[in-house]
Homo-oligomer: A and B are copies of this chain.
Amino acid sequence: MKNYPAGLVLVFLILLSCTESNQHQKESILPKTEQIESFKIIDLSHDYSKETIYWVTAKQFELDTVYMGETEQGFYYSANNFSTAEHGGTHIDAPIHFAKGGQTVDEIPLEKLIGPAIKIDVSEKAIQDVDYLIGIEDFVNWEAQQQMTIPEGSIVLLQTGHSTYYPLKEKYLGTDQRGAEAIALLHFPGLSAEAASWLVEKRNINAIGIDTPSIDYGQSQDFKSHVILLSKNIPAFENLTHLDQLPNKDFEVIALPMKIKGGSGAPLRIVAMLKE
């Protein structure tokens, strides 16, 4: 029962019951143990700790122990406070992060954050070239290989392979220095402005995610891909991990941010549900 994601299990089991054993629907709708175990949930989120990676100018994560241990009343108790920038670790960029008047994080419709997803794997090129810009060609190639256009309403995940460097700042960000002077030293792959425009104009996606610190590449100065996507209310998920465990299509993503009223972004817990 370890890998039991109820909704998806049902989807596939009922599909099976439709296609394979029509004669005995009522019995075959009941999940069998060996079928349940062939589904799983994958956590695409880094955790928050002292090692969590933030933008070189952003406030980092701090956890302060309020209490830990036995109490006078005889029970054990532990609790902490924490502080953080909205944009650090695995987080979401709400439209208002780069679009005046755009949706704040609490205003993003949940329907954009839960649903079918695809993955574009550019890791072969992006591991060779730390400044790699994911281009229109990468999307066109995916569509040719999968023999389909990017489905309407998809959540699109971009795999550069750079999450394997996390949390080594020098490798993942391009620098372990901090402060405004470190900005010029940032090197990691991202989405080109042309490809962001293509997605917005030619396809109809719900959200986008990447396994680097930012949807714009490290050397960006105008953050055009942010502006293009967020202006169209397409939220961006950054600092994802475990994208290598996902297929190119046929899985679902559930991305639930902390509900900060008026927030420009927030810590994000994001998972994928798939058939093994």
Query: Which chain B residue shows the least CB distance to A101?
Result: B76
Bound together, the chains give a CA A156 to CA B261 distance in angstroms of 27
Bound together, the chains give a CA A97 to CA B256 distance in angstroms of 23
The residue that A267 contacts in the complex, of B14, B116, B258, B262, with Cβ under 8 A, is B258
| Chain A interface main SS type | mixed
Q: Could you write out 26 A-B pairs with CB less than 8 Å apart? A: A1-B153, A4-B153, A7-B8, A7-B11, A22-B22, A43-B110, A47-B106, A48-B259, A48-B261, A48-B263, A49-B260, A63-B260, A73-B221, A74-B222, A75-B98, A75-B227, A76-B98, A76-B99, A77-B97, A79-B97, A80-B260, A82-B84, A110-B271, A254-B254, A259-B269, A267-B267
Bound together, the chains give a CA A262 to CA B64 distance in angstroms of 11
Q: Contacts A7-B8, A47-B260 known; A114 to B41 CB distance under 8 Å?
A: yes
Bound together, the chains give a CA A110 to CA B4 distance in angstroms of 9
Bound together, the chains give a CA A48 to CA B7 distance in angstroms of 29
Q: Is the CB of A25 within 8 A of B14?
A: no
Q: Contacts A5-B115, A11-B14 known; A78 to B49 CB distance under 8 Å?
A: no
Mask: chain A, 34-45; 1 = CB below 8 Å from B; 0 = not: 000000010101
Q: Is the CB of B4 within 8 A of A111?
A: yes
Interfacial chain B residues near A3, Cβ < 8 Å: 111
Interfacial chain B residues near A90, Cβ < 8 Å: 259
CB distance from A139 to the nearest CB of B (A): 21
Check if A134 is an interface residue, CB within 8 A of chain B. Answer: no
Query: Which chain B residue shows the least CB distance to A270?
Result: B256
Q: Contacts A19-B25, A78-B97 known; A63 to B227 CB distance under 8 Å?
A: no
List 20 extra interface pairs beyond A5-B114, A6-B116, A78-B96, CB under 8 A: A4-B111, A7-B8, A19-B25, A41-B110, A43-B110, A47-B106, A49-B262, A59-B81, A66-B85, A73-B221, A73-B222, A77-B97, A78-B264, A79-B85, A81-B83, A82-B260, A90-B259, A114-B254, A114-B273, A254-B256
Check if A257 is an interface residue, CB within 8 A of chain B. Answer: yes
Query: Which chain B residue shows the least CB distance to A23?
Result: B22
Check if A121 is an interface residue, CB within 8 A of chain B. Answer: no
Interfacial chain B residues near A73, Cβ < 8 Å: 221-222
Interfacial chain B residues near A77, Cβ < 8 Å: 97-98
